[in-house]
């Protein structure tokens, strides 16, 4: 079959899937934004999206839809050029629904099967919005704005033949009537790479070397922000560092905003919450290392004695599963995305998201008694190896799903 992957930051979620479909003998092509400089692992074409930013005042609640629909038009025009100039007609189009890229592809290729990556469907209540009253606006206006952001997501689903979500909880955020068309398969963790390594070592910016077995506490986000519980983690640190005078705390993440909003007074969330506890922590043992190359991240997870992961009810981070696979003892927030994988006392620990004192206790216990939590760490790795391994489960499952949709052998199912 001819398979077209569409993603503005390709390869994105298709990093392993696109070459796997080519390996299976399909003709694979990717379509991405011309500004995307990431190297592709299959043949890649580009579309140009230079539409002016919509006027927020004029669009009002339709701003997000206008923004994403404009991108959808840019992609559709590129698709039309592919059809007109090269007679290109794919059997399957697989795209991410988050930026509107798939909205109008059925107008160009009505004969193609369209699959969308269904990552998250915004809700006015019951998910991330209103979860953190300290930092989030509450009330009807916020709920209305959030609901309005689902217009392009809903339309993308209505135009699709099938959809893929990485977790059951993320699939459950979509309206009930759309859920039967969603297949749930995680993207996959390379457990042959993310595995315990007693010889692992990691060098701090000041030259000191940390090794597997050392007392290391880790926290990892793409960006350090409230959506991923950075404020709660920082507030737990003074007690942790006072109780554990040898602990080295390594924090990975940038200073930008991936989700939510920037600090109202300016600056970065990193500094806002660091400044809140600065006088109560040992800065010589607290290491902000920014973003790190992936091989460095892998080594860090291999030396981590305790890894803290928090998230609002929102998209689950790969890093939590990677930490579990690498053999770290994971303490996670008692929120729905995390609870799908971690059972408290079985393959990790769970703490209520806002319970700062509870976080301090759980982290101190894990650091002080690694032998008591080794069983949980082993069980965590077993969870990933048996249910989320890239090569043996997830990648074959997703590839089979794509082929079934293309062959007409996949049908929506009852939930």
Q: How confident is the model at residue 415 (pLDDT cuts 50, 70, 90)?
A: low
Asked whether the predicted pLDDT for residue 126 surpasses 60, the reply is yes
Question: Over the stretch 136-173, which tens digit does the pLDDT of each residue have?
Answer: 877 888 889 989 999 999 999 999 999 999 999 999 99
The architecture (CATH level 2) of 201-387 comes to 3-Layer(aba) Sandwich (3.40)
Domains of the chain: which residue ranges? 2-188+390-407, 201-387
Q: How far apart are CA 75 and CA 65, in angstroms?
A: 15
Question: Over the stretch 249-296, which tens digit does the pLDDT of each residue have?
Answer: 999 999 999 998 899 999 999 999 999 999 999 999 999 999 999 999
Backbone angles phi, psi at 390, to 5 degrees: -60, -50
The percentage of the chain sitting over the pLDDT mark of 70, rounded to a whole number, equals: 100
Q: Which of 310, 140, 335 is nearest to 235 (CA)?
A: 310
Beta-carbon contacts of 6 under 8 Å, excluding residues fewer than 6 positions away, are 30, 31, 32, 75, 93, 94, 95, 96, 101, 102, 105
Amino acid 41: pLDDT: 86
Q: How confident is the model at residue 5 (pLDDT cuts 50, 70, 90)?
A: very high
Q: Please work out, in degrees rounded to the nearest 5, the angle formed at the alpha carbon of residue 187 by the alpha carbons of 155 and 88.
A: 55
Supply the mean pLDDT for the chain. Answer: 96
Q: Are 14 and 30 in contact (CB under 8 A)?
A: yes
Q: Which of 300, 313, 297, 301 is nearest to 381 (CA)?
A: 301
Same fold for the pair 2-188+390-407 and 201-387: yes
Q: Is 274 left (phi over 0), alpha (psi -120 to 50) or beta?
A: alpha
Beta-carbon contacts of 92 under 8 Å, excluding residues fewer than 6 positions away, are 1, 2, 3, 4, 112, 113, 114, 115, 402, 405, 406
Cis peptide before 11 (omega within 30 of 0): yes
3-state secondary structure 200-268: CEEECCCCCEEECCCCEEEEEEEECCHHHCHHHHHHHHHHHHHHCCCCEEEEEEECCCCCCCCCCCCCC
Q: What is the pTM of this model?
A: 0.94
Q: Are 197 and 212 in contact (CB under 8 A)?
A: yes
Question: Over the stretch 24-45, which tens digit does the pLDDT of each residue have?
Answer: 999 999 999 999 999 888 999 9
Backbone angles phi, psi at 20, to 5 degrees: -65, -40
User: Among 36-45, 214-223, 343-352, which is the least confidently predicted range?
Assistant: 36-45
Amino acid 240: pLDDT: 98
The architecture (CATH level 2) of 2-188+390-407 comes to 3-Layer(aba) Sandwich (3.40)
In 10 A of CB 124, how many CB atoms? Answer: 17
Beta strands in 59-150 (DSSP E): 92-96, 113-117
Q: Are 153 and 121 in contact (CB under 8 A)?
A: yes
CA–centroid distance for 297 within its chain:
16
């Amino acid at each position: 079959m001819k398979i077209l992957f569409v993603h503005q930051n390709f390869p994105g979620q298709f990093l392993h899937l696109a070459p796997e479909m080519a390996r299976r003998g399909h003709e694979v092509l990717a379509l991405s934004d011309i500004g995307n400089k990431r190297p592709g692992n299959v043949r890649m074409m580009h579309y140009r999206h230079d539409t002016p930013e919509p006027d927020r005042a004029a669009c009002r609640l339709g701003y997000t839809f206008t923004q994403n629909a404009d991108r959808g038009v840019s992609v559709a025009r590129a698709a039309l050029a592919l059809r007109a100039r090269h007679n290109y007609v794919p059997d399957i189009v697989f795209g991410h629904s988050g930026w509107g890229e798939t909205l109008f592809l059925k107008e160009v290729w009505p004969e193609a099967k369209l699959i969308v990556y269904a990552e998250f469907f915004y809700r006015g209540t019951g998910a991330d919005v209103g979860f953190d009253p300290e930092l989030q606006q509450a009330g009807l206006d916020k709920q209305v704005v959030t609901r309005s952001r689902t217009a392009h997501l809903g339309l993308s689903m209505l135009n699709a033949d099938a959809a893929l979500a990485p977790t059951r909880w993320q699939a459950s955020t979509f309206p009930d009537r759309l859920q039967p068309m969603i297949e749930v398969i995680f993207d996959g963790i390379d457990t042959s790479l993310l595995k315990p390594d007693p010889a692992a070592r990691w060098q701090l910016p000041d030259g000191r070397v940390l090794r597997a077995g050392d007392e290391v506490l880790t926290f990892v986000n793409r960006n350090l922000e409230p959506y991923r519980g950075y404020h709660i983690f920082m507030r737990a640190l003074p007690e942790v560092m006072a109780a554990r005078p040898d602990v080295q705390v390594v924090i990975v993440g940038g200073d930008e905003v991936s989700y939510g909003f920037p600090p109202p007074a300016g600056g970065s969330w990193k500094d806002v919450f660091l400044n809140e506890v600065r006088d109560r922590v040992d800065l010589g043992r607290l290491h902000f290392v920014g973003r790190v190359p992936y091989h460095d991240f892998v080594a860090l997870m291999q030396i981590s004695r305790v890894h803290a992961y928090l998230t609002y009810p929102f998209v689950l981070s790969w890093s939590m599963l990677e930490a579990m696979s690498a053999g770290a003892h994971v303490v996670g927030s008692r929120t729905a995305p995390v609870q799908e994988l971690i059972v408290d006392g079985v393959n990790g620990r769970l703490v209520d998201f806002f319970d700062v004192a509870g976080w301090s206790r759980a982290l101190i216990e894990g650091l002080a008694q690694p032998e008591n939590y080794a069983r949980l760490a082993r069980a965590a790795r077993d969870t990933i190896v048996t249910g989320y391994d890239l090569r043996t489960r997830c990648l074959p499952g997703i590839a089979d799903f794509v082929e079934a949709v293309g062959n007409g052998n996949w049908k929506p199912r009852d939930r």
